[in-house]
Amino acid sequence: MRVGTANSLAGRYAAALFDLAESARALDEVAGALGTLEQALAEAPELAALVRDRLLSRAEVGAGLAAVAERLKLPELVRKFLGVLAANGRAALLPEVIRAYRARLAAHRGEETAQVIAAHALTAAQKKALAAKLKARTGKDMALEVTVDPAILGGLVVRIGSEQIDASVRTRLERLGTRMKGLN
């Protein structure tokens, strides 16, 4: 788990959810539901706006999240958790809570977390192949935390602990530009 995540407010919410999921023997079910919710946040700007909107009341945010949870058929534990976030005025922490839960689950499984920045969303097959390559390189099982940043143009940037592998098109172009300036 990243330094600072465990002690952050989102980290504490994620730890509480993790403990509840572990007691209910639903760690993977909750992780899957959070993945579905994360995808919905990425694909539906209205949902992302709902969790960030400070003008809406806690009840309005709660009702909106309940409707989303119903539509996505999320498990009861996750539905109740979303209700707690909304009731406490912490819905904006949802993306960070999802990341912290995933990191906690990876640590529980003895996996290391690789933070991956991609120019576009990765398919399940691409994630599986990347995790396998990183395992071959490090000898450890890898949990991937993927974020999308079109500014890298293509390729990937992977951070495992303090090591960073930058295979982005943007960095390659920057290096090429630097070399070309040296030729003048």
Q: Which long-range contacts (CB under 8 A, 24 or more apart) does 129-132 make?
A: 130/156, 130/158
Confidence at residue 1, expressed as pLDDT on a 0 to 100 scale: 43
- Mean pLDDT, 10 residues at a time, the chain of 184 residues: 64 96 97 94 91 93 96 96 96 94 90 91 92 92 89 94 91 90 74
Looking at residue 6, what is its pLDDT? Answer: 58
Q: How far apart are CA 25 and CA 109, in angstroms?
A: 14
The pLDDT of residue 162: 87
Q: H/E element holding 72?
A: helix 58-72
In the chain, where the domains are located: 9-104, 110-183
pLDDT digits (tens, 9 = 90+) for 97-135: 998 999 899 889 888 889 999 999 899 899 999 999 999
Task: Identify the pLDDT of residue 184.
Answer: 58
Q: Quick one: pLDDT at residue 5? A: 55
CATH architecture type of domain 9-104: Orthogonal Bundle (1.10)
Tokens encoding 143: 């949990």
Q: Which pLDDT score is estimated for 79?
A: 97
The per-residue pLDDT of the chain, averaged, comes to 91
Alpha-carbon gap, residue 38 to 176, rounded angstroms: 36
